[in-house]
Structure 1
Amino acid sequence: MLGLSALAHDPAAALIVDGRLVAAVEQERIDRIKRSTAFPAGAVQAVLDEAGLRLGDVDRVAYYWNDRGQAARALYSACLQAPANTAGFARMARQRLRGLAAPARVADGLRPLLGGAPAPPLDFVDHHEAHLVAAWASAPFDAEAALVVDGRGEVHSTSLYDLRGGPSAPPRLLETSPFPDSLGVFYGAVTQLLGYRALSDEYKVMGLASYGKPNEHWAERIGSLLRVGADGRPKVHIPSLQPENCSSAELDWLTARARRRLSGPFRDADGSFTADAYDFAYAAQEALERGLLGLLRRLVERTGATKVVLVGGVAMNAAAVGRARASGIVDELHVPLAPTDAGASVGAALAVLRRRGLPLPPPGELTDPFVGPGFGPGELRAALVASKLPFREVDGPAAAAAAIADGRLVGWFDGRMEFGERALGARSILGDPRKAETRDLINASVKRRESYRPFAPSVLEEHSSRYFATGRSRRMGEIVAVTPTAHAEVPAVVHVDGTARPQTVPKDWPARRFRALIEHFARITGVPMVVNTSFNVRDEPIVCTPDDALRCFASSGLDQLYLGDFVVDKEAFGG
């Protein structure tokens, strides 16, 4: 079963063979275009290569969107939400009608990969169903309810489900909110107001919010765009939006009048953010969190659930997820590996398998992030030989740990690439958390990104509670408070607001050599963690291949590159 997200943002492919998730990868990692919107032909080929299959061997293709199944409702919703101006209404209607061409567009995208073989049958899955099943099937507990919150589906932007019938029963849809009444649209519009790109840079706004403080002026302005009712339901002020634009990062999501009302002196003459920008981001983040908590409480009130899954693009907001988990509204809260539309490629495949009564992968397999392309020692050596750079063979984990303890910044490339937004030990840049300057050094010489953005710690799970207000957070999915010990011992991973976004690394972590690296570092320094950020520079995707890693290493301030047990020193580049 091949799962696809395509024809919009976050294109990806996932392959399930005989009840096993064999591979999953985002298109951007293959074509090397950050936030690529290309048809995921490269991603499809990559997952097939991992399985040693051809597209003609695939039984069915599951697609993560279903305008055909909801055409009438989608067009009716478009009429209700459409702007008064004729051009805007026409654009929205065209968007809805374009979805009906998805079968032909997907077929055209897959045709070059078939080599003359017949195309597999194409199954359509409602977008929120794809999100739901990705979260439900991967939950480490028997989920009782689900909350899907994103920018938009075919019709809905928010869906609440009752799952108390169990995995064998169909989910019961309790209530929905229609696009564009959407927390995702709200936060995307805020992202644009701060000069960032919607549908990709929302996480930067979350980081910016950490520097802000409560400000009545900006809280009122944000309140004019998003309010949370007494019933817990967030409501976006629809007249402030241009709904026909809210699926494109290139167009303004807010009306000119709303932009004037909500804009402010967000940049200084030198381009740096002002205190108003920080406070505006703070107010927006606070509103998003209140909206998400309101929905979670509403779901619990309607179902009595204590075990809930949360999914959709809004679930990528780690600060909101951390607050939801700490709120005590539910006993258990699960966010899947990739809650974005990329992860809906997995969900679509799972939904079709479930629909056909076929076995699903076990939950533990669906939470293993290391399902991307992998490269053996022979391929790593061949890439190094072709680069004509001198390299040495070492014990990678031990050597890298010693280098980090000595103050070096290292690129770590080992095993199969992660699926999802986070670098979790296969494609990482690593540094010493004991030195506050590590954060600034990585930002300035490697990542070349905004200085206000923090870096995450990867900590041995059994030591996590000594440093962070969590004992388990294996995929960097939540922001939590740090302890006084963290402030004293690992300042590089403590954000300005006294929080961190940790990855806890258990003893049975699939990336065993990454766990071994942290253990070596702990033996050397007494500190059971390293700074871990994704292996890429600004405006590039995470590296996928050895050649990607070598290019990134050459153009950055990294001191060493580890490709498995091979190491290249920056001196090999003459600097």
Structure 2
Amino acid sequence: MSPLEPAPRARPDVVLGLCSFTHDSAAALLVDGELVGFVEEERLSQVKHTRAYPEQAVAWLLQESGLTAEQVDTVAYNFHGPRYLADLATLPALLAHPASSDRALPRAVSFAKVGVRTLRRARGLKRRFPHARVRPLQHHRTHQMYAFAASGWERAAVVIADSLGETQTTTIAAARLVEPGRPALGTVLALRDPGSLGYAYGAVTEHLGWRRGDEEGTVMALAALGDPARFRALFERIIPITPNGFVLHPAYFAPRVLSSAYARLRPRFGAATCPRRRPHEPITDVHRDLAAALQERTEQVMLHLARLARDRTGERRLCVGGGVATNCVAIGKIIEAGLFEEVFVPPAPGDAGTAIGAAAAAHIDASARPLAGIAGACYLGPDFGGHPLDLTPWPSLAEKPVDGDAADFLADQLAAGLIVGLFHGRIEAGPRALGNRSILASPLQPDVVARLNDSVKFREPFRPFAPMVLAEHAADYFTLGQDAPFMSMASGVTDLARTVIPTVIHANDTARLQTVTKDGNPFVHAVLTAFTRRTGVPVLINTSLNVKGKPICGTPAMALDCLATSGLDALLLDGRWITK
């Protein structure tokens, strides 16, 4: 080769991370260690919490990067099949205990079946990506890797709390960067099933009449309306805190069997609390009080885990992941306790985010290249800007011109009292709408919460709505004392907030805020700035662009359906103003 000729470009290292076949299917792609993108399948398929292989998500990622399935080097899967078999070691103890002996054999069989099924699924992925190495990874490791890598910190303690990852339910790790872009994690404590906070919260959610794995947030909201004292002693007895974490009482929480045919709660739980509520039955004081006691005990356990993390790692910062990390009130309590200088929850703390964590872990294991593009990133999915707009399928909708600057125009409409869907840029990661697939409204309208719940979201009247605030003015209204860019933390409020924006304050005197910076989301920052000029208030209500039971709208068609079938006044879709 001539010295003047450029050296041939090395073939890129391509790692595809997958969360699939359980719930919240998602895909992430790393090319030479850099995150190309991430999207949850439900945002494209319109099937909430889908467990299907993320066909559309993978197709978009490969198209976005100009690659084919044959060019994928590694497929990183977020579960490790053989590790399910480790649960067989619990069989003798469960058989020996009168409260769990009836579940011991069905449980062992179910864990063995799921372990074998997970191995088969990994082999099936090989057929889709013929030249790739398929890497099954321990579930909690993928959570840990994502939570820490997304923080951008050099070192931290990491707490993962979920329902189940193979046999683990709760882990504490010490994390650090051994060099830029190369995280190292060491687990210092691991709790195994049947001791699971996610299992317990889901079980009581179902007992209260809501869908387990979907509507735990509704129970968290209901808890603010109840009195935990009624069932406080019960929860202290059935979820006792121990020096190494916590356990579940098997006489109340039946040991897990990996099958929907087996109830999670024993009859003894209903006898000590209330009969199981059916979804359309009235909500009474006993339901409110039960939710309040469950939430209080969850906060106490999470605080205990945070203290253990501080004491066992010596770190001054904390990352929290797993499904329980979506409990924003518990996260707020950890921050309020002052155990750490700062607390971080990634934008997708649940299982979907493990697609990124799996890809990152597989890359770190096999390559010397540093990770890039994960820290602080949340707008990672498809962008539909510039696509032609055909309103023919929605004859009730019409496009009208935007008068002047789009951010100013939207601020005018919001200040005038309109409830507007906002669809622009790339799809957010995680369960919270962060301004790119949002419904926005003025918090200054006294009836706005009722309008949103009754005619837009079609959900329970006690559900609160979250505020987004200019980061530079957050301390005037909220007492959190740190940034909250991903709407994952409940904050106390100031007297100014109680006076000016009571619509965003829940019954427990908190608000789940999102702090917005110009660098984080330039357009939303411009809207908030323009709204502040008009009203003097740097706060807007932000809720997800969807209705109850539907996923956040990931595509223009989904957003237009939402406008046509709900009480939304209008939709700003990639700079185009759509009204009814």
Same fold, TM exceeding 0.5? Answer: yes
Residue 79 of structure 1 and its aligned partner are, at CA, apart by 5.6
Partners of 1:2 and 1:366 in 2: how far apart?
Answer: 18
Letter of the 2:70 partner, please give it: G
Residue 307 of structure 1 and its aligned partner are, at CA, apart by 1.8
Partners of 1:79 and 1:63 in 2: how far apart?
Answer: 31
1:74 to 87, 92, 101: 87
Q: Deviations over 1:2-44 (max 9, x none)?
A: 1011121222111112222111111222221122222222222
SS across alignment from 1:434: coil
Mapped pair 1:372 → 2:381 = yes
1:47 to 61, 65, 70: 61
CA RMSD of aligned residues (A): 2.4
1:63 to 60, 72, 77: 77
Which range is displaced more, 135-144 or 429-438? 135-144
Letter of the 1:320 partner, please give it: A
Which range is displaced more, 52-61 or 548-557? 52-61
Partners of 1:299 and 1:278 in 2: how far apart?
Answer: 31
Mapped pair 1:504 → 2:515 = yes
Residue 376 of structure 1 and its aligned partner are, at CA, apart by 1.9
- Is the contact made by 2:177 and 2:183 (CA closer than 8 Å) also made in structure 1? yes
- Is the contact made by 2:126 and 2:134 (CA closer than 8 Å) also made in structure 1? no
- Is the contact made by 1:199 and 1:249 (CA closer than 8 Å) also made in structure 2? no
Distance 1:407 1:275, change over 3 A: same
Give ranges in structure 1 of 5+ residues lacking alignment.
571-575
SS across alignment from 1:287: helix
2:563 to 538, 549, 553: 553
Distance 1:51 1:346, change over 3 A: same
Residue 404 of structure 1 and its aligned partner are, at CA, apart by 0.8
- Describe how 1:213-224 pairs up with structure 2 within 5 A: 213-215=227-229, 217-224=230-237
SS across alignment from 1:101: helix
SS across alignment from 2:398: coil
SS across alignment from 1:240: coil
Q: Deviations over 1:411-440 (max 9, x none)?
A: 110011111001001000110111231111
SS across alignment from 2:30: strand
Partners of 1:308 and 1:225 in 2: how far apart?
Answer: 28
Who is 1:15 aligned against? Answer: 29
Distance 1:264 1:387, change over 3 A: closer
Residue 375 of structure 1 and its aligned partner are, at CA, apart by 0.6
Who is 1:430 aligned against? Answer: 440
- Describe how 1:157-556 pairs up with structure 2 within 5 A: 157-163=169-175, 166=178, 170-215=184-229, 217-229=230-242, 231=243, 233-245=245-257, 247=258, 251-263=262-274, 271-362=281-372, 365-377=374-386, 379=387, 381-384=388-391, 387=394, 389-394=397-402, 395-470=405-480, 471-509=482-520, 511-556=521-566
- Is the contact made by 2:85 and 2:111 (CA closer than 8 Å) also made in structure 1? no
Partners of 2:124 and 2:176 in 1: how far apart?
Answer: 40
Residue 97 of structure 1 and its aligned partner are, at CA, apart by 3.0
Partners of 1:358 and 1:208 in 2: how far apart?
Answer: 49
Partners of 1:320 and 1:412 in 2: how far apart?
Answer: 29
Residue 390 of structure 1 and its aligned partner are, at CA, apart by 2.9
Partners of 1:48 and 1:487 in 2: how far apart?
Answer: 48
Letter of the 1:129 partner, please give it: R
SS across alignment from 2:547: coil
Residue 141 of structure 1 and its aligned partner are, at CA, apart by 2.2
Letter of the 2:382 partner, please give it: P
SS across alignment from 1:224: helix
Who is 1:6 aligned against? Answer: 20
Partners of 1:250 and 1:291 in 2: how far apart?
Answer: 29
Residue 514 of structure 1 and its aligned partner are, at CA, apart by 1.6
Percent identical across equivalent pairs?
35
Letter of the 1:225 partner, please give it: I
Partners of 2:202 and 2:112 in 1: how far apart?
Answer: 20
Mapped pair 1:101 → 2:112 = no
- Describe how 1:21-32 pairs up with structure 2 within 5 A: 21-32=35-46
Partners of 1:12 and 1:235 in 2: how far apart?
Answer: 31
Q: Deviations over 1:329-381 (max 9, x none)?
A: 1112222221111111110000011111343434x64322111111122x1x3
Distance 1:429 1:505, change over 3 A: same
1:134 to 135, 143, 146: 146
Who is 2:133 aligned against? Answer: 121
Letter of the 2:174 partner, please give it: D
Partners of 1:520 and 1:250 in 2: how far apart?
Answer: 54
Give ranges in structure 2 of 5+ residues lacking alignment.
1-14
- Is the contact made by 2:73 and 2:131 (CA closer than 8 Å) also made in structure 1? no
Distance 1:555 1:78, change over 3 A: farther
Distance 1:208 1:359, change over 3 A: farther
Partners of 1:441 and 1:477 in 2: how far apart?
Answer: 24
Which range is displaced more, 330-339 or 547-556? 330-339
Letter of the 1:433 partner, please give it: P
Who is 1:573 aligned against? Answer: none
Partners of 2:184 and 2:391 in 1: how far apart?
Answer: 52
Partners of 1:527 and 1:110 in 2: how far apart?
Answer: 54
Residue 249 of structure 1 and its aligned partner are, at CA, apart by 5.9
- Is the contact made by 1:265 and 1:274 (CA closer than 8 Å) also made in structure 2? no
Letter of the 1:222 partner, please give it: F
Who is 2:10 aligned against? Answer: none
Who is 2:168 aligned against? Answer: 156
Distance 1:373 1:534, change over 3 A: same
- Is the contact made by 1:264 and 1:276 (CA closer than 8 Å) also made in structure 2? no
Which range is displaced more, 52-61 or 120-129? 52-61
Q: TM-score, normalised by structure 2?
A: 0.90
Partners of 2:135 and 2:557 in 1: how far apart?
Answer: 36
Partners of 2:106 and 2:543 in 1: how far apart?
Answer: 44
Residue 94 of structure 1 and its aligned partner are, at CA, apart by 3.0
Which range is displaced more, 101-110 or 424-433? 101-110
